Each structure stands twice: as C-alpha cells, then as structure tokens.
Chain A
C-alpha cells in the first residue's frame, strides 16, 4: 500500500518559484493539499514539479501552492477538503476513499490487475477516465492520474509462505481491499500505527507487512528484521490521483485548464519514470548492502487461492452496485485485451531474452 504519512508530515512548502516576467495580470492561485510531506521522496516531488511546470507554461498566470500533511494535518482528509472547497486541488490515492465511496477503489490498483502501462492505456484510451469522472462527479471533484509507483512488492515476511496453510492466522499489516482478499483465505490483517510498525514486526507482534517497494522500503529498515521480501500481487501498478474541485476547475480560463491538464499528465508520467529509477537504484543498493535479503514469490497454489478470493470479492461488489459492475467489467475486459498484447510483446521479449 501507499505510505500513509504518519499523521502530520514534513515541512512547509515553498510557493512555486517566482517568474522572471513582470507581475502578470489576473494570476490564478490554486491551493493544493497532498497526503504526504513535501520532502517525501517521489510523491512530494511530483507536486513540486506540477507547480513549477504550470507556472512556467502559463508565464506565471497559474500558480499552485502546496500544503503538505504537516500543515493541514489531515493526510486522509484530502478528498473532503477539496470537495468542500478548502483546497482547490489534492494529490492523493483514490483507494484511500474506499470507506467514503466504494467505487473510488478501482482507480489506484487492483490485486491481479493491470500493470502501469496497461492501466495508463485504460485511463486515457480505454474508458478509464470517463468512469473515474462518473464516480467523482457526485463529489463535485474531477480526478486525473497523478503518477505511478510501478509494481509494488508483496511485503516483508518473517516466515516463508509455502502453502495456503502458512497464510492461516498470518498476522499482516495490509490495509484496504488487499487485506480483505487475504482475510478471505484465512490471514489476519492487523492494524498497527505506522510509528510502531518496525517494533511490531521486529518483535513478532505481526508476522508480515507490506509497504511499497525498494523505492521507499529501504528507508524504513524492514530488511534488517524480516528476511523474506515477496514479489507483488496486490498492487501491480499503483496510480496516484490529482483531484480538482469542480468549481475551481470551471473558473479557470480555457488555456489555463489546458495547461493544467497537460502538466498533470506530464507529471504523472514523470513520476512513473522516477519511481522506476529509484526502485532500480535502491534495489541495487539493497542487494549490495544486505545480500541476506531473500526475494520470494508466493507458490502457485497460494496465488491461485488469492486470485479466487479476489474474484469472489469483486463479484460481490459488482452485485451490490451497477456502477461498480460497470467499472469492474471495464477493467476486466480491458485487461484481457491489453494482456494479450503484453504477452506477445513485453512478456515474450523478457522471456526470450538470453541471459
């Protein structure tokens, strides 16, 4: 899962850099609240880049000021604050709002779902944006892709998972929908305050936890206390979101709207590259400094059970709400289509590659 800034994070934000031109007339300032701290790697940089980009592209007519979690103190209040107009924009992750609106769940990443490129294709060309708009319309908010972390790791485990039996009673910190899937096969998702995660894992209060991936796990130090690093299954391409208050958006002149839209798309892609880069770099560092880390993949039997649980849950969600069904069907259909291409392109290429 994404990092939930432990209640109030990081520092005050510089306003977007000043422009060299003379003070422009009618500059618009949008206030943005983000779930993370500004110095939070990758995520925090994405909003800073957005602010710099729109400033430059608009010749200083569009400014974005960023308030990080340290300032607004409500990492999980971003949707509410944008909805109620306290802020014009937000940068967060859609699945955080699952408890407020179950249909927001599908726009971040789903277990056994699409990879980042597949999902981007779905968003921009496969009807994803339209569905996301439909879901967010009732909150008076527009939503846009806001940067992808790439495939997230399955988490740090103190013991090996060799069978579904090993999952029985496994106490794991894994929130949200993925936790529900695990619970369905007998694991015990457990809430632990982020600040106590390290101690809890170290002392075996819990058996496992999931965080993000090499790009952000290294700084948590979990590799020192849990030998097994499992590959991912539950968040194959975690997309953040920019959300914009509808009224603030409508009040923008056409050109600024175009600038903002373009900048958000550019930043989203940039963050994906950046996350890929950091994960690659950090993984090299982790392997070098901690050769004892053992990368594992869940055995087939376990993944089959998890996938089955996942499908059953999705079927329940689909049965409960027509819009949920529409989204789930769209995701599934697009994944089938995109995956067939992935199979004979990237997958085939990687598999065929000589050592």
Chain B
C-alpha cells in the first residue's frame, strides 16, 4: 500500500518540475524515514558505491564524450546530413539515418543512458534545424537510442541471463532478430510518416545546384565515410577482442578527437568544452540513477516488493493466460519501476511458473527483454525520456518527447505480440 502511495506522490511532485533526481531522493526520504527511521539511509552509501563500482556504466560518460566531440566538431552533423542527402528527394532520410546510426551504437553498448544521450546530442539539433517536427525527432531518437537494450550487448539480457540461469551468449543470439525487426519497422514507420505528413520530416536538399547529381552523391559519400568508419572501428574493436564493449566507447572518444585533428577542427578549447559538456550530461544521467536508487530502496524496504510479489502469485495458471498476463503486468510495472527492479523483483517469481508450464525459457527471456525495453519509453517514468529531455534544446517540451515516443512504443508492442504469437519467425522455440 505504501508503495502505491509513494508512486502517486512522486508522480504529483515530479509534475511540479523540480529536477527529477532530487524529487526522487526527497520522496524517498519522506517515505523511507517515516516508515523505517533515519537509519534506513545508512544503506544509501552502499547503493551509491555499487553504482560507482558498476564499471559497465562507464560507457555513459565515454559514449557521451564521443557524441559531444562529434557534435562540437560538426562531424556528426556532416554524417547525418550526408546520409540524409543520399535519400535524395525521399523524405525522412535524416530520421532513417538516425535510426541506422542508433542501431550501430546499440551494437556497441548495452547502456541506454549512453546511447540515448549520445544520439540526442548528435542528431536532435540537426533534425530540428532541418525542420523536423520535434515530436518525431524525439521519438526517433528515443526509439533508436533504446535499441541498445535489445541489440546485444545488452544489460537487460545479461541480468535476465543471471536471473533465469540462461547462458548470456544464447540470449544475445536470440535477441538479434527481434532487434533487427525493430530497426526495420522503425524505418518503415518514419518513411510512412514522412510520406503522409511531409512537413514533419522534410528531405534535405543538395546544396548548390552546380554539381551533377552523381558528383553530389560522391561528395555526400565522402562526408559519410570518416565518421561512419569511426563508429565501425568502435564496433570492430569489440568483435576483434581488442576492447570490451565498455572500453570501446573510450576508443570512440579518442577516435573522435583524431578525426577532429584530421579535419582541422581540433582545438584545446573545443576539447575542454566537450569535457565540461560531457560532465554536465553524465551527471544528469547519474543523478537520476542516484535518486532512483533511493526511491527503490524506500519502496522495497517499506514492503513494496512484497506487495508486487503477492499480486504476481495470483496470475492465471494456464500457459497462454499466464503469458499474456505476465506480459501485461511487466508492461504496466514498466510505466513506474525501472527495468533492473523488474528483472529482480518480478522475473524470479515468474520464472518457476513459466518453467512449470513448459514455456521455453529463452523465448520467455526475449519476451521479457522486449517488454522491458518498452519501459524505457513509457511515461511518466521512462528513463529514455528523461535522458533525452535532459539534452534537448529549450524549445523541445516534455510533451513533444511524450508524444513522439507513442508510435515507437506501439511498434515495440507489435513486435512483442509477434514474438508471442509466432516465435518461429524469430528462431525461438
């Protein structure tokens, strides 16, 4: 009961517009101290320290740094614009390029905070400048940035592997197809939307009419190659065993600096400004994590997790009823609780039931991963939404972000449904 009240209070207070991180922290103090006394907060340093030691999260500052350098040196812009130009008069090219770059980044990190923020820094300003509707731009970035969660490597899959006792490698393999299907559907949506509503996603004209079309394509290609090869080098370093995924993001940062030097866009002040900007955005992301860990501490130590558990044990005991309801429960919880909590509170309760019903665990895991990916996008507590809003220019409103993600949430749900109904397509079962 306390848990539900906590969420309602947090929701109302968040709407006041005070920074999310501290609102979470303040609500945690209010409820935690009332129910458990001051000493509950003696546990906070341990939680903070766990975040500090979670080296996978290092990808956040490192990736953001790469993104900021690419942005400050206008190389990202050049990449996206040129990619967009290759679409010629076809509208929506910039958004499609964003999705493609997002998919590449997704394949080199499993940390959503890293990819959403990097994408937000790189491509949001460009899309806005070319007259994209803010909602479509934001939705595209949140959707593409959150791909990191299903396209391996992925933190969700690693946690699910741990909780469900499945080899991480098997899970990674199983998630590739659903991830690619998402990419294709995102692109299809963006192109359709641009076709139906041309104003929301204009085409990027070739500059200067003097060049022959072929010449223009070549110029565009030339502009694409260096930044794109940087991203591919980052990916390649993981596949070649040179670096772990986390480390690869540092290689990306160094690579971005080298590119800047190559293009004579390097300066020490640019480097310093990029670092400072990275610090600010990184702190924004982690402050949310710090506030959220306090919030989840207060939630679980005041009996919230027991309430969730009690509810879950009443799920229907027949295969399809169980599957549908468990997916609905995870989806609804995803509006409020973050994916780590869901993985740890909900999944262990569901797993034995699924096993008893002879449901393929790999299939179940992919279903959950796809479902949890959606939780990043569902308001009010969608972390991707917070992250993107945190780096968006002032003219982008929270409502733009909320509105923009709706189609992408629907696409994810459609894919979730298709995995549920026809697992064979995805090579599951």
Contact = CB atoms under 8 A, between A and B. Distances in A.
Contact of B163 (A10, A72, A81): A10
Interface string A78-94: 00110010100000000
A37 B163 contact: yes
Interface residues of B, number: 50
B241 A221 contact: no
Interface in B303-334: 305-306, 308-309
A5 B346 CA distance: 17
B394 interface: no
Interface residues of A, number: 41
Given A81-B43, A193-B55, A70 B169 contact: no
A37 B344 contact: yes
B54 to A, nearest CB: 5
Given A12-B305, A12-B309, A74 B49 contact: yes
B411 interface: no
A162 interface: no
A6 B162 contact: yes
Given A71-B305, A199-B153, A205-B242, A8 B50 contact: yes
Contacts of A75: 50
A81 B53 contact: no
Consensus secondary structure, chain B interface: helix
Contact of A84 (B42, B54, B165): B42
A182 to B, nearest CB: 20
B243 A221 contact: no
B345 A77 contact: no
B153 A72 contact: no
Interface in A1-18: 5-12, 14
B238 A193 contact: no
B245 interface: yes
A41 interface: yes
B199 to A, nearest CB: 44
A49 interface: no
Interface string A192-204: 1101101110111
A39 interface: yes
B241 A204 contact: yes
29 contacts: A8-B344, A9-B163, A11-B309, A11-B344, A12-B308, A39-B351, A71-B300, A71-B301, A72-B43, A73-B47, A73-B50, A73-B293, A81-B43, A193-B244, A193-B246, A195-B56, A195-B158, A195-B159, A198-B167, A198-B169, A199-B238, A199-B245, A203-B241, A219-B167, A220-B167, A220-B168, A221-B168, A221-B169, A224-B169
Given A81-B43, A219-B165, 13 more contacts: A7-B53, A7-B54, A11-B347, A39-B163, A70-B344, A71-B301, A72-B46, A73-B293, A195-B155, A198-B169, A199-B244, A205-B241, A221-B167
Interface of A: 5-12, 14, 37-39, 41, 70-75, 77, 80-81, 84, 86, 191-193, 195-196, 198-200, 202-205, 219-221, 224-225
